[in-house]
Structure 1
Amino acid sequence: MVRGKTQMKRIENATSRQVTFSKRRNGLLKKAYELSVLCDAEVGLIVFSPRGRLYEFASSSMQETIARYVRHTRDTQQDKEKTNAENMQNLKEEAANLMKKIDEIEASKGRFLGENLASCSLPELQQLENQLERSVTKIRARKNQVFSEQIRSLKEKERQLATENMKLSEKCSQYGLLHKETPNQAAEDTPSEDTNSQISEVETDLYIGLPESRLKRARVA
């Protein structure tokens, strides 16, 4: 079973704390001595006990080791500051170059629009004219290409619509043939003369005369 690391905390018992301090201090001093001998390293170790007592180990001279540490820290800080200053200067120069390029682009844009041409020499004006002509040639070529694509698209749509129109015409013709009336059916559907006369008599009986006369006729009948 894997056990997690025990969280270190302060030893509450004073006696146990003092014993642990003595053991760990001696072990630390021993490791510092071994490191200086085995690796030929300059080692300086300073330990203050809880009561303020000093314990130290130095492979050469503690004062010289501390002075060397101070010099190294100061030099490192100076190098860091110098590096930061150089980086800042590089950023400023880069920003200045970018601003210069932006100004040149803006000036070139203005010349293409026909502005600020007074300061241009004859060769510059000729170069500008050639560039504009090349640009116009490319623009016209692209415009013609777009026109051609649109024409092809419209022709394709026209062909599809013609095909659909032909299909609809065929369907309409078939529908008309199926529902076309025959002469016999037309004759059967046309009312005869006898039927028309009967309808006329009924209409006359229904609408001619006063209500009383119509009532008498109904009784006689």
Structure 2
Amino acid sequence: MGRGKIKIQRIDNLTSRQVTFSKRSRGLLKKAKELAVLCDAEVGLVIFSSTGRLHEYASSSMEKVTERYRKGKDEHHRQLLNPTSEVELWRGEAARLRKQLQILQQSHRQLSGQELNGLNVENLQNLEDQLETSLKHVRKNKEQILIDELKELHWKKSLLVHENKDLHKNINLLHQQRAELQKTIYGSRSSDEVNRNTNASCSLSTDNNLNAPQLSQQPQNNDIPEEAMNLRL
């Protein structure tokens, strides 16, 4: 469960106010120390509690921090009171940047093979060394890009090979399943034909038996000759 949102206002309860001050002041001092160490900043922090107790922190010493603060504040006031000095400051900065831009443009033209008439042998040699160094860096970057592209192509090739193998496995499995299905279908058809032939043979033999002449089970009364009858008498 998350912490509730605290309303920023004076805490009326004295005990709660003191506890909150103790926690928040420790956290603020910790953040000030971290800011001074991580960012190499000069930090000065002064806290007075409601009871008048002093809590302070300084990255170097409080006297140096306060002295620097006074100087910075006075300089800021002087700049505000004398706007012409600020204008002159920005003019000097603009001139410095223009000069730096001109130097960079001239160096770029010389690297491109232009405006080489005023250069001596030493300057030309330095320019050639710069070009060779730049060319080495360009070739190195080009080779690295080609190596990365080749690695990517090899990876794609291996991926395609694995996919091709999987497709061949699936195709072989489908062929096997198809062959088994055909075997099952044709096997059932052969059994049905055998059964039909057997039934046809049985019905044919039955029909032949029904059409054959039937023999009488009782003996026929043959005519006895009269002479035999006379002998019996």
Give the TM-score taking structure 1 as reference length.
0.45
